[in-house]
Structure 1
């Protein structure tokens, strides 16, 4: 099934059901279906054809949801781009995928226009917001009839989407990785890939049309994007917020809308567990909480379970190249708090050595993912694709080598060890930052922590801890003493740096690279 068919089916199923709630408006399923039809028709009328790439450069607004389904209805491929992206990176993405159109907001037009001026393939810019009517097309020459169209005019017209005759093995979306180790790479996902991932996730979450999911994660981030896709697949309601910067407002929204599902990342969890405004029983409708992007420290898991005793907490692991890999059934949380679980339904996950052979329980190796949700490859990057997608058990398939180190226990449950690139080599030993971070999070007075390796002439690399303290009296000596009591000598941090907050990526993940850079600057 193609993704836009999720919306059509949900619009037919219950004509009065609310699909989307934002602070500005609410849309029923028929309204979302109709608006996206109109925008799809406008895109097609202005030169967007089947398989063209369309960049969606917007924040978490209702227009972005309309745009995603409109691009798919036009038979094209959408590429969501975080609204905090700067012009040079945006220009790179537009050039790399040879975007045919850009859908954005008036407030982002200065950045968008600068990037579009460096991309000859863009023939149309659709701008949402009061300033859209006065927006001017980019100065650079383009390959087609360049122009700017107001989003409001597009959805007011009677145009309807073309019969593009696309099928489910066509590309649906192109999501660019963060590019922390180089230029961003475009992850190619077909409609079939997206459907497989969404179906698997709603299966283990036991999703229903009665769910109300609150999402503060950027929809340019696949974790946030899939909240929209899964809600529409289920015929559920999505409450779309722009950020978690003001938790009290989000808590109020959860109570007003009787939220049943809350996806979060560790930075959000850290804010929740420090909140003094929460008490058990405040959210009686909340059914589940999910976490991915990075593992939750056991101390945070324990506190979340105190605050939400009736709620199922799903610890998960995933990456853009296949969306989701594993989940820990909530019933296993007490027995295996450090595990990210088992392969999601309909997929397979296993750990291999450098020769590609599966390793026994307890032995570290690279995690490999097999299933219908695995990407098609990186957009026009054959070398990177060959590294990630390699021959599988059968001659007709490729499996995904994640680049992450894992181990399993005797029952087959998976444990994240580290990114291969994050392993710290010190005194001839290998240190997984996650192991040290787990100990740090158990230290009284520490709210957040990240561990990095820094060059050292004697050690090779020195283990360094960067922490956010909840107790202002905490000292570096206290932290090192705590670590020494729980870790082998070579794993104990040589230095401890205190920060008011840890640096994060645009998607809310704690950035190990940016944290290390703060140490370099300080030194």
Structure 2
């Protein structure tokens, strides 16, 4: 009998559990969860959610951090017909309250150690939220709308093999692939976060395309030190479950020694990174002391890597394929550069991934000639449905096509495309610097500065200037104390057009980061001086 590919995200877990029941699905610290255990626990959680009164498309907020229980909770939510919302484990009460209110969540899954934060967030809500405590019953004195449900009791070990098929279709709400699967709240630096709506079809389409170009198979072991609240971190799990691989979950990439040791211990083959992690890697003097022979590929997205960092990484790990990629939460992934093209076009983020189409357009929506600057637009099954409860923002992000599914998502990012169709990221529209009558890409200036051997990282921001309109300021993280402002400016004068040379240079020990590891440039713009 032919087995067709599943159309729902959670059905991929059930299929992998049937095919590889005793294989490790999630490794987290000393815990090892097989596909059998992950399927069983998610089934039990789904039934418990239905018993709580969860209805089709109700939202469930998960506040557990990077752990196997988060994974079981998200799949259980989907099996119950719900929509999962994962928040970072360090989320503050104000953000939690906003997400619970905005999403109108019916259930919150949280650790009991966060009971004070949860109580503060629940206090201002206009609707009831049932709380499932991960590791204990509700504490004495908990708010009246906090239930005494214990996650561990709901999904206790000891289930037999029959649990793999114990969730029959008739027991749970019907779900189809155009139903919402997830709300991913963007890490807005100003204003309130936006909830990006993705259906089962959106998520499966995006994941399938990425799996295709990376070439994943069931033997792959992926180390995921990125927050599961971040789409880049979340999709490592979604993808691995689809291809039947193993995910090694880490709570943070701050302790790089532990990460590199873990890669050797678990024979990790895939390592998703962000530029911050590369900067940390390149600072290490004893990288050769770690056995990284098992690594097959490294991926980067979130922000483009400086060209010099790419070259340094290739020298350190010549046997590893490096996928330089570009994406945004609204469509998960846009494009990737084939590792074989890195030597020829290290500054490119490649072409559109499979089943995705891109263009670079002017303000009227017309394609610009090769080499000219314009806004990147995207269409495909990977593109989100819109922003949750924000039709005005959704309408602003889209332009209609000849039929509904052909609409284009406007990224808000400036790009140029060469004659062969390769894309080059220049910066967010809001981040472009207008100085001396010219438009300057911060990324181009940062790349040039990172060519200096003693520069670990660089971040360029605009500062007000009475004469220039905006002046260019660069914050530099050095590898050594010998580098000074004159060295940086002299190098820029040699490498850049005169109007692109920074007016100010400030050395800092580290750059401020968002929860997802991106440089927080708005915080840099509040720094006094210059």
Task: Mark yes or no: TM-score above 0.5.
Answer: yes
Is 2:270 the counterpart of 1:266?
no
Alignment-derived partner of residue 4 in structure 2: none
Is 2:154 the counterpart of 1:154?
yes
The counterpart of 1:105, out of the listed 100, 111, 119, is 111
The 3 A distance-change label for structure 1 pair 281 and 101 is: closer
Alignment-derived partner of residue 21 in structure 2: 15
Q: Deviations over 1:389-420 (max 9, x none)?
A: 21125455322110101111110101111100
Alignment-derived partner of residue 519 in structure 2: 510
Shift of 1:134: 4.3
Is 2:198 the counterpart of 1:189?
yes
Query: Please, what TM-score do these two structures have when normalized by structure 2?
Result: 0.94
Shift of 1:136: 5.0
Shift of 1:498: 1.1
CA distance in 2, matches of 1:321, 1:473: 42
Alignment-derived partner of residue 3 in structure 2: none
CA distance in 1, matches of 2:21, 2:487: 60
The counterpart of 2:46, out of the listed 27, 40, 46, is 40
Map 1:373-522 to 2 at 5 A. Answer: 373-394=382-403, 396-517=405-526, 519-520=527-528, 522=529
CA distance in 1, matches of 2:383, 2:406: 10
CA distance in 2, matches of 1:250, 1:376: 36
Q: Which moved more, 1:480-489 or 1:447-456?
A: 480-489
Q: Deviations over 1:150-188 (max 9, x none)?
A: 111111398975421111110000011112242111100
Q: What secondary structure sits across from 2:62 in the alignment?
A: strand
Alignment-derived partner of residue 199 in structure 1: 208
Contact 1:447 1:469 in 2 (8 A): yes
CA distance in 1, matches of 2:117, 2:129: 17
Q: Deviations over 1:414-462 (max 9, x none)?
A: 1111100001111211111001001110123111110000111121111
Is 2:139 the counterpart of 1:135?
yes
Is 2:80 the counterpart of 1:74?
yes
Contact 2:85 2:183 in 1 (8 A): yes
Map 1:338-353 to 2 at 5 A. Answer: 338-353=347-362
Map 1:43-62 to 2 at 5 A. Answer: 43-62=49-68
Contact 2:378 2:409 in 1 (8 A): yes
CA distance in 2, matches of 1:281, 1:177: 35
Q: CA RMSD in A?
A: 1.6
Alignment-derived partner of residue 329 in structure 1: 338
Map 1:207-218 to 2 at 5 A. Answer: 207-218=216-227
Q: What secondary structure sits across from 1:156 in the alignment?
A: coil
Q: What secondary structure sits across from 1:147 in the alignment?
A: coil
Q: What secondary structure sits across from 2:409 in the alignment?
A: strand
Query: Please, what TM-score do these two structures have when normalized by structure 1?
Result: 0.96
Q: Deviations over 1:332-382 (max 9, x none)?
A: 111110000000101101111111111110011110101001000001111
Map 1:268-307 to 2 at 5 A. Answer: 268-279=277-288, 282-307=291-316
CA distance in 1, matches of 2:232, 2:128: 28
Shift of 1:113: 2.2
CA distance in 1, matches of 2:20, 2:439: 56
CA distance in 2, matches of 1:122, 1:29: 34
Alignment-derived partner of residue 86 in structure 1: 92
Contact 1:102 1:122 in 2 (8 A): no
Q: What secondary structure sits across from 1:133 in the alignment?
A: coil
Q: How many residues align?
A: 515
Shift of 1:106: 2.1
The 3 A distance-change label for structure 1 pair 122 and 212 is: farther
Q: Deviations over 1:463-516 (max 9, x none)?
A: 000011111121112111111111122111111111111001001111111222
Q: Which stretches in structure 2 are left out of the alignment for 5+ residues?
A: 1-6
CA distance in 2, matches of 1:313, 1:304: 9
CA distance in 1, matches of 2:405, 2:24: 43
Q: What secondary structure sits across from 1:187 in the alignment?
A: strand
Q: Deviations over 1:309-339 (max 9, x none)?
A: 1111000000000000000011111111000
Contact 2:66 2:89 in 1 (8 A): no
Q: What secondary structure sits across from 1:279 in the alignment?
A: helix
CA distance in 1, matches of 2:34, 2:149: 25
The counterpart of 1:313, out of the listed 302, 308, 322, is 322
CA distance in 2, matches of 1:136, 1:369: 51
CA distance in 2, matches of 1:95, 1:445: 47
Q: Which stretches in structure 1 are left out of the alignment for 5+ residues?
A: none
Q: Deviations over 1:90-125 (max 9, x none)?
A: 111110110101111123332222112222334311
Q: Deviations over 1:226-271 (max 9, x none)?
A: 0000010011000000111111111111001100000000000111
Contact 2:112 2:138 in 1 (8 A): no
